[in-house]
Amino acid sequence: MGLLGASLHVDATKSFFFWHEALGVTVFWLMLARLCVRFLTDTPAKPAGMPAGLASLAYLNQWLLYLALICQPIIGYILVTDHGSTYMWFGAVPIPSLVGKAPGIDHFVADLHTYLGWTILVLVGLHLLGMLYHRVIRQDDTLARMT
């Protein structure tokens, strides 16, 4: 998303990043809520006959996706506030800087944010491939198990 924003006209870029940042913080809160639901509810049993290795890969991908979707907004937030300013969520809710003034970390944090963004795309792609595998090839009830 950030790569697209960097290629826009100055006015469009400003608006794009306003929404990029606001939605990023929103994703963070939604992921925390999702993890609470995940820990407070029982998970359905694996489909019968699912190979252990496949179940392990699905489990690993799911938790890496959770981790990445929690870390990405935090890293983006640090990037936006590393000069010590307060971030205004949707222009209305102040969220203070986590790191205060931290000169010199911009490039590292920006690179980390970029690479993690690509990692999320790969994990989502693997997740979708897994869904297609279960739906088209195995034709099991994995999608019905989703909570």
Element containing residue 87 per DSSP (H, E)? strand 87-89
Is the pLDDT confidence value at 33 over 70? yes
Indicate if the pLDDT at residue 134 is higher than 90: no
Q: What is the pLDDT of residue 85?
A: 83
pLDDT of 25 reads: 94
* Rounded Cα gap, residues 116 and 47, in angstroms: 31
Q: Is the pLDDT of residue 8 over 60?
A: no
Dihedral sign, Cα of residue 102, residue 103, residue 106, residue 108: negative
Task: Please determine, for residue 39, whether its predicted confidence score (pLDDT) is greater than 70.
Answer: yes
Type of residue numbered 58? A
How far apart are the C-alpha atoms of 143 and 41, rounded to whole Å? 17
Q: Where are the domains of the chain?
A: 2-145
pLDDT digits (tens, 9 = 90+) for 95-117: 988 887 877 888 899 999 999 99
Name the helix (H) or strand (E) containing 122. Answer: helix 106-132
DSSP class of residue 138 equals I
Under 8 Å between Cβ of 43 and 147: yes
Q: How far is CA 2 from CA 31, 32, 90, 93, in A?
A: 20, 22, 17, 22
Predicted pLDDT at 76? 93
pLDDT for 112? 96
pTM: 0.82
Among the ranges given (21-35, 37-51, 106-120), the one the predictor scored with the smallest mean pLDDT? 37-51
pLDDT at 98: 82
How many beta carbons lie within 10 A of that of residue 80, not counting itself? 19
